[in-house]
Amino acid sequence: MRHFLAALKIIQTNKQVLNDMSFLFNDNIRKMTGYTPGFQPDSARAIKLNTNENPYPPAPGVFEALKSISASEFRKYPPSTWKDFRRVAADLHGLDPQQIVCGNGGDELLTMIVRCCCDTHRPLAYPTPTYSLYPELAHIQNCPIIEVPWGPGMSIPDSLANSGATLTIICNPNAPTGTIISPDEIGDFAASYSGVLLIDEAYVDFAEENCLGLLKRYENIAILRSFSKGYSLAGMRFGYIMTSHLIASALMKVKDSYNVNIATQKAAVAALLDQDYFLDNVARIKNERQRITLALRNLGFEITDSHTNFILAKIEEPEAKYIHDQLAERDIYIRYFNLDGLRDKLRISVGTPAENDELLNGMVEILGK
Ligand SMILES: Cc1ncc(COP(=O)(O)O)c(C=O)c1O
C-alpha cells in the first residue's frame, strides 16, 4: 500500500509538471486554438458532405501508377523537385517548370508562403469570411493579421491594396461563400498592390474562369491549386503553386527537402494527364450542384450561385445548427461554422446523385415540408 501511494504521488507530481509545461511554448502558440478540421465519421454508410471531397474515385491511371512503384522507388527518397509533375504541369499550363512548386496538399503550400512573406513586422491580409486556416497560419508565424470584410457584392474591398500587408490571400472562388471574382478585377488589384498576392484557387476546377493568364503580367502573383477537389486525391495530399521565378525561388528555400512522397507524385502525374476523366467528373458535379441548389431554394434556403463543389445555404428558421445536428443523427454530415456571419448558414458539399437525394430527403423531413 505504501509503495502504491508513493507511486501515485510521483504520477500526480509529473502530471502537474506536464500541466505547467505550457510556459515552454511560444506565446503565440499558447494563445492560439488551432484549425478544426471537418468531422471524419467512422461509419462506412455515412453520407459525408462536410469537407468538400470529390464523391467520385480518382482517374483509373492513378491506380496503375501506384501499382507500378518499384521496391527501389519506395526505398529511396522521392524526387525533391517533383521532376515529372513539374514537366507535365508546365506543358499543360504553358509555363517554365521552375515556376511550379509542389506541396503535400494545398495547406502545406499556404504554410510555406506565409513562412516566406510574414513575420512580426510583415502582416497577412485577406478579405473575410474566407478559409478559416489563414488566421491559424498567421498565429503560428506570429504575424499581424489584417482582416477586411468583402466589398459590396463580394468584391475586393477598396482598402485591401493599401493595408500594408506583405502577403494578401484572395480565395477565388471563395470558401465558404462559393462566390467568384473575375480575373480582371484580381489583375487590377495585383497592379495596385505592392506585396505578394496569393490567389487560392483550390476550388477553381468547378469555375468557368481562372487567373492563370495573370501570371504573364504580374510578378507578384502566386496561384495555388489543390488535387483534393477536382482530381479526387484528398487522401494523397497534393497541391501546387504557379508563380514568378522570384517567388518560386523563395518557396524552394523554405520547403522540406522531400516534401511530397513518391506515391503522391506518381498519382498526381497520372491524374493530371487524364484531362478527359477530370473534365467529365467536374461536369457531373456541376450538374448536381445546379440540381441541389434549385431543390434547396424550393425548400426555403437562400443560396448564391456557387462556383465550387459546395454550396452555402442560408436559412432563418429553424436554426442552421439545428438542421446540421438533425442531419448528423441521420448519418448525413454537412458543415456548420460557429463564426460571425456564418451562424445562419450551412456549407454542403456536392455528392453523388444518390447522396444528394438522401440529403434532400433528410431536409424535407427536418423542415416538415
Ligand atoms: C480554400 C482552400 N484552400 C486550400 C485548401 C487546401 O486543400 P488541400 O490541402 O486538401 O490541398 C482547402 C481545403 O479544403 C481550401 O478549402
- CATH code for position 337: 3.90.1150.10
Q: Per the structure, how many domains does the chain have?
A: 2
Print burial letters for 107-131: b (CB count within 10 Å at least 16), e (below 16): bbbbbbbbbbbbeeebbbbbbbbbb
Q: Are residues 259 and 286 in the same domain?
A: no
| Structure letter (DSSP) for residue 203 | T
Report how far apart, in Å, the C-alpha atoms of 48 and of each of 206, 283, 294, 334 are.
Answer: 19, 20, 21, 7
- Of 245, 273, 301, the last residue of a domain is 273
Nearest residue by C-alpha to atom 3 in ligand 1: 202
Listed as ranges, residues in the chain with pLDDT below 50 are 8
Q: Please give all residues whose beta carbon lies within 6 A of any atom in ligand 1, as ranges.
A: 52, 105-107, 131, 171, 175, 200, 202, 226, 228, 234, 239
Q: To test the ligand 1 pocket, which listed residue (110, 131, 240, 347) has its Cβ within 8 A of the most ligand atoms?
A: 131
Q: Are residues 342 and 245 in the same domain?
A: no
Q: Are residues 300 and 325 in the same domain?
A: yes
Residues 245, 296: Cα–Cα separation, whole Å: 45
Report how far apart, in Å, the C-alpha atoms of 161 and of each of 110, 139, 194, 224, 361 are.
Answer: 20, 22, 8, 20, 45
* Ligand 1 nearest-atom number relative to CA 131: 1
Provide the β-strand partners of residue 167.
Answer: 124, 196
Report yes or no on 280 lying in a domain: yes
Q: To test the ligand 1 pocket, which listed residue (49, 133, 169) has its Cβ within 8 A of the most ligand atoms?
A: 133
Identify the pLDDT of residue 23.
87
Residues 6+ apart with CB under 8 A from 254: 112, 115, 116
- Of 239, 273, 307, the last residue of a domain is 273
Ligand 1 mean position, distance from CA 304 (Å):
21
Report yes or no on 226 lying in a domain: yes
Q: Are residues 64 and 51 in the same domain?
A: no
Report yes or no on 222 lying in a domain: yes
Identify the pLDDT of residue 21.
86
Q: Are residues 360 and 303 in the same domain?
A: yes
Q: Are residues 268 and 296 in the same domain?
A: no
Ligand 1 mean position, distance from CA 182 (Å):
20
Please state, as a whole number, how many other Cβ atoms lie within 10 Å of the Cβ of residue 243.
28
- Of 273, 302, 329, the last residue of a domain is 273
* Ligand 1 nearest-atom number relative to CA 110: 4
Report yes or no on 115 lying in a domain: yes
Q: To test the ligand 1 pocket, which listed residue (36, 107, 224, 241) has its Cβ within 8 A of the most ligand atoms?
A: 107
Ligand 1 mean position, distance from CA 317 (Å):
30
Report yes or no on 38 lying in a domain: no
Ligand 1 mean position, distance from CA 234 (Å):
9
Residues 76, 61: Cα–Cα separation, whole Å: 23
Q: What is the pLDDT of residues 26-50, one digit of tens each?
A: 999 999 999 988 888 988 889 999 9
Report yes or no on 353 lying in a domain: yes
Q: Are residues 295 and 323 in the same domain?
A: yes
- What value, to the nearest 5°, has the Cα angle with vertex 305 and ends 304 and 308? 115
Q: Are residues 242 and 154 in the same domain?
A: yes
Residues 6+ apart with CB under 8 A from 34: 136
Q: To test the ligand 1 pocket, which listed residue (40, 171, 228) has its Cβ within 8 A of the most ligand atoms?
A: 228
Name the pTM for this structure: 0.93
Q: Are residues 201 and 75 in the same domain?
A: yes
Ligand 1 mean position, distance from CA 107 (Å):
6
Q: Are residues 124 and 153 in the same domain?
A: yes
Are 156 and 189 a contacting pair, CB within 8 Å? yes
Ligand 1 mean position, distance from CA 305 (Å):
20
Cell of 319: 436554426
Q: Are residues 187 and 212 in the same domain?
A: yes
Range of the structural domain that residue 334 is part of: 47-56+276-367
Residues 199, 220: Cα–Cα separation, whole Å: 11
Q: Are residues 73 and 155 in the same domain?
A: yes
Residues 127, 170: Cα–Cα separation, whole Å: 7
* Ligand 1 nearest-atom number relative to CA 228: 10
Identify the pLDDT of residue 369.
82
Ligand 1 mean position, distance from CA 14 (Å):
39
Ligand 1 mean position, distance from CA 204 (Å):
11
Report yes or no on 338 lying in a domain: yes
Report yes or no on 154 lying in a domain: yes
- CATH code for position 128: 3.40.640.10
Nearest residue by C-alpha to atom 15 in ligand 1: 202
Nearest residue by C-alpha to atom 12 in ligand 1: 202
Identify the pLDDT of residue 19.
61
